[in-house]
Structure 1
Amino acid sequence: MKKSIQILFFLFLLIGCDKTKDKTIIQGKIENEQITVVSKIPGKIVKIFVKEGDFVKKGDTLAILDIPEVDAKKSQAQGAVTSAKAQYSMAVKGATENQLKQLEAKKMGLKEQYEFAQKSIKRLSNMLKDSLVSQQTFDEAFAKYQGAQAQYNAVIAELDDAKKGARIEQQTMALGQQDRAYGALQEVATADKERFVIAPQDMSIETITLNLGELALPGYTLFNGYISNSTYFRFTVPESKLAKIKKGQEIPVVVFYNKKEIKGVVSTIKQLGAYGNIATAYPDFEMQESLFEIKITPLNTDEAKELITKATVTLTL
């Protein structure tokens, strides 16, 4: 008797439905949300820490890439930061102590020349009134006086700038160059972290696409897997059966390979746009009927934790 029931159950699965007593057995599949891990920058794989079938936690290192270009750019960025810091420091602090001493000495020399020219022009001015010197001689002395005065005023301004530092515009420009250099260094540091391929979520590793020594290009999938605790059951149902299913409805699902019944809740009902997405092997529907995908989420995720993805499940409507 038990053997006959098993044979009948297999027949139900084969044809996709059992219409006795107005009940229909619909066949579906166990699914998990998929996730892929890709590389952001090109590099050769030098180490792989996982193998297919492993379960990893969020933040675990899956592989390490060799990216020699990053090391070269890091040295360049560090040199640019050192240079920019020195430029900004010089713009803010102004001249060095020795430069200030040289300017002070220059100021003293020009001051002596200016004071001497000032005294000379006063004497020649009185002599010119008494016609003791010619106008040409006075004009030449006055020109020298003006030159000495201009040089003295210039060195005072130069010394003042040296003490105060560069103009605010020059300081701002130097600060901008420093910030730019720090930004380039930070960009390199970010790229350097990308040599470590990290698990974005708790997941199981299903496939590893590259081997040691192979080149991983930007955007290339390195690892495929399933997100932890994302198991659900997917069924394909014709519209004639939709009246028996409602979103939020609790409904039991039977796992075929271990005959275990798991309670779930209907979380999604959506129309299928392509027959390639049909989950039921032999759905019973009329050609003019639309097909709908039913997603049932287990109420107790622990019960579904060990289920095998793509295995068969059944639903009775």
Structure 2
Amino acid sequence: MSQLKKIIGSLAVVGVVSWVGYSFWAAYQPRPELLQGQIEAEQYNISSKVPGRIENLYVKKGDMIEKGQAIFSLYSPEIDAKLAQAKAGEAAASALAEEAEQGARTQQVAAAKDQWQKAKAANKLLEKTYTRVNNLYNDGVVSEQKKDETYTQWQAAKYTESAAYQMYQMAKEGARTETKRAANEKVKMAMGSVAEVEAYVADTKINSWYTGEVTQVLLNEGEIAPQGFPVVSVIDIKQAWAVFHVREDKLKNYKKDQQIDVYLPALDQTVPFKITHIAVMGDYATWRATDNSQGFDLKTFEIEAHPTADIPNLRVGMSAIVKLD
């Protein structure tokens, strides 16, 4: 019996010594280093190019939206007024271009022709008058002064007839080619103004350019939305990635396109990620001084890694942990 007790006691001592020895051995073994980062995702702000009062808001925080879905609409009577002005300007420019193309009115052409005929008749009359006065001068009946005055009146009548004829031809031909082209270009300019304002009008009905989840609604119905102010924020969790900041002495362990296992404590699962980006420039935002004998500081480099497959229930801001042996 005493022999059995001795054996049991010896085994107990060996067990205690073994346990203590293993504990010391385990305590001095190098532990795996944990690299902690967090989940990020693409965030988009939905806004309008024009200011206005929010008339309708079609989404709320937490809604899942699709690309092309209506988000909000604006009420802007100022834009409606500008559109009316632009359309009126287009109509006026079109009317002027039409006038230039059609030329003078029939009545204006007829009036110009009448003026020419009138000047033509006056010219013929003064030509005959000068002939008679010249004959009388040759007969010594009238003075040379009278003859010169009549001649001057005849010449003036000739120029008047020529001017009237040119005015008649201008009325028949209508506007010059350059004038017509200028009028047509003004029409195009007015049409461009209308198109610009119509684009602003269209931008009062805002649809989403993205698919994702609404994370913030910054303005409510009835509030004024300034130009470019984000009214709704959207996060596309399907475009998520993990961001890590790696000290430069550990950077050699990570390569682009390398696959790493990332533990997500919030989901209690380990999933594969692929490194897609390693910053080309170090950052002093997070750094550690080495001991004086080494004489330099350690910078950090940002690493991005994307999951190789969709992860259900993944959220922005979740911790992401990589174990480095």
Question: Gaps spanning 5+ residues in structure 2: where?
Answer: 1-26, 291-296
The equivalent position to 1:222 in structure 2, one of 231, 250, 254, is 231
The equivalent position to 1:265 in structure 2, one of 267, 271, 274, is 274
The equivalent position to 2:99 in structure 1, one of 90, 113, 117, is 90
- What letter matches 1:135 in structure 2? E
**Matched residue SS, 1:132:** coil
The equivalent of 1:164 in structure 2 is: 173
The equivalent of 1:147 in structure 2 is: 156
Q: Deviations over 1:258-289 (max 9, x none)?
A: 333322211122334424xx9xxxxxx76643
TM-score, normalisation: structure 2: 0.80
1:250, 1:266 within 8 Å by CA — same for their partners in 2?
Answer: yes
**Equivalences for residues 1-317 of structure 1 within 5 A:** 22-227=31-236, 229-270=238-279, 271-275=282-286, 288-300=297-309, 303-304=310-311, 306-317=313-324
The whole-number CA distance in structure 2 between the counterparts of 1:171 and 1:90 is: 9
Question: Gaps spanning 5+ residues in structure 1: where?
Answer: 1-17, 279-284
How many residues align? The count is 290
Q: Deviations over 1:176-232 (max 9, x none)?
A: 433332232222112212212232322321101000000011232212122363111
2:55, 2:73 within 8 Å by CA — same for their partners in 1?
Answer: yes
2:237, 2:316 within 8 Å by CA — same for their partners in 1?
Answer: no
Q: Which deviates more, 38-47 or 105-114?
A: 105-114
CA RMSD of aligned residues (A): 2.5
1:236, 1:291 within 8 Å by CA — same for their partners in 2?
Answer: yes
The whole-number CA distance in structure 2 between the counterparts of 1:218 and 1:127 is: 90
Q: Deviations over 1:156-179 (max 9, x none)?
A: 111111222223443344344333
Percent identity for Structure 1 against Structure 2? 27
The whole-number CA distance in structure 2 between the counterparts of 1:241 and 1:176 is: 67
The whole-number CA distance in structure 2 between the counterparts of 1:224 and 1:123 is: 99
- Deviation of 1:22 after TM superposition, in Å, equals 4.7
1:231, 1:304 within 8 Å by CA — same for their partners in 2?
Answer: no
TM-score, normalisation: structure 1: 0.82
Q: Deviations over 1:120-142 (max 9, x none)?
A: 22233233222233323323322
- What letter matches 1:88 in structure 2? A
- What letter matches 1:114 in structure 2? N
- What letter matches 2:171 in structure 1? A
1:202, 1:228 within 8 Å by CA — same for their partners in 2?
Answer: no
